[in-house]
Structures are given as structure tokens and as C-alpha cells.
Chain A
């Protein structure tokens, strides 16, 4: 990286307009990945409790967020 591009990169990372929007994009990315992983886990028969444990949230939280989605995340057997 040349000095000029480094300065440019430093400058942009200090710009809140860039930094805040980057955080928002990162959150969006994390949300999409979470949904994919939860869907996959449900398809493989994981319970909401098991999923919640690994996500570090309560069973209620993960259930409320995903279970209502038109039965998409329903696995065979439980609930």
C-alpha cells in the first residue's frame, strides 16, 4: 500500500458517515448469515434450545425471531 492510499484509507475509516454505514452493513451481513444457519440447523433437526445455546441468546429470543416465519424453520418432530 502506498502512502497516499494508506492516508486515504485512514481518512475514510475516521469518517463516521463511512464507519457507521459499514457497521450497519456488517449487521445486515450477520443477520443474513444467522438466518441461513438457523434454517440449516432446523432442517437438520436441531431444537430451538440447542440453537439458542450456541447463539448465546435465550430460547424464547431465537424462537420469537424465526419460528413465526411461515413454518419455514420447523423441523420434524418437536414443537
Chain B
């Protein structure tokens, strides 16, 4: 399947890995594919998402909120007792790097080793192949991956898009239109 990936689609998977590492996550999920798209504004996927009003920073926040990894570190609760978690996070990340506050028990070594795709992220890549086949394209580009991401509705990536108020159906239509 990967041999059918365009240069941009390959770059996208590499960027997704970088996003995962940057956040100190030990996996590449659908959310990292989404974040990677947002770091590539020159591609069809990135351009379309950004045009619909989704920014990288807002998406990172939404990932944090929705991933539930910080169920124990609730910004709203802390603000009840006068603690600004974002301010704390800013200071800590300035000193120790992005994501330093997110996963305290995680080994730093995992940040250097192989970062595996989650089942859902693999599914997204499979779906992007199916989208390409359905459109009679013989390559898989970043646009097809975005279509796959939208189709995998339960994934964190699609949930972040939907929660941010973007219209998944409209997004899908526009991507297909541009793919031609």
C-alpha cells in the first residue's frame, strides 16, 4: 500500500510520527495524522482544514481535551482553586520541552524508538486506499488520507475535526472536488 503513497502522503506519516513524539505520546493515532496535516498548509488536506478554520494549536488543545489522558489533571477544576494549568504548562514546557507535563511515567527512551500506528490510524490508511480506488486514482495522496480520516468517525482525529465545529460532509465534498 505504501508504495502507492505520494511524496506528500509519505511526508504526512513522517510528520505524524514527529507530532506524536513532540507530544510525548507513544503511538501514532488518527489525531497525529490530523495534526500532521495542519503542519503542512501547502498540501490539499492541510489547506482545506485550515480554510475551514482549524488551526494546529487549537487542534492540539482539542486532542488534549478529548484524549482523556488528562482526566486526572482537569484545567477547569484547578481554576476553581486559582491555578491556571495553562500557565503552569507553559512554564514547565519552556523548561522541560513540549508535553513534559502530560505523561509523567513515560520513559524518554520511547521517544527515540519506534512509534507504532494504532489500529485506528492503520484503518485510516486502509480507508484512504479505498477512497483512492473508489475515485479511480492509482495513487494515495494526503487528500485521500483526509477522506479516510473523516470516514473513521470514531477516531480522535475525526472527533477533533467535528468538535471544532467543522462540517465533515462539506469537508469531504470539497476534498473530493479538488482531487478531481
> Please, which residues of chain A bring their CB within 8 A of the CB of B107?
70, 72
Decide if B104 touches A25 in the complex (CB within 8 Å). Answer: no
- Contacts A32-B104, A36-B96, A69-B105 given; does A12 touch B80 at CB 8 Å: yes
> Please, which residues of chain B bring their CB within 8 A of the CB of A32?
73, 101, 104
- Contacts A18-B80, A21-B77, A22-B80 given; does A72 touch B108 at CB 8 Å: yes
Decide yes or no whether B78 CB sits under 8 A from chain A.
yes
Decide if A24 touches B92 in the complex (CB within 8 Å). Answer: no
User: What residue in chain B is nearest A34 (Cβ atoms)?
Assistant: B104
Interface size band for A:
20 to 34
Q: Is the interface of A mostly helix, strand, loop or mixed?
A: helix
* A19 in complex: contacting residue of B73, B80, B105, CB < 8 Å: B80
Hey, which bits of chain A sit against chain B, CB under 8 A?
A: 9, 12-13, 18-19, 21-26, 28-29, 31-33, 35-36, 40, 69-70, 72
Decide if A25 touches B77 in the complex (CB within 8 Å). Answer: yes
Most B CB contacts (10 A, CB to CB) among A18, A24, A32, A35 go to A32
Q: List 23 A-B contacts (CB under 8 A).
A: A9-B80, A12-B80, A18-B80, A21-B74, A24-B72, A25-B72, A25-B73, A26-B81, A28-B72, A29-B73, A29-B83, A29-B85, A29-B101, A32-B73, A32-B104, A33-B88, A33-B92, A33-B101, A35-B104, A36-B96, A36-B100, A36-B104, A72-B107
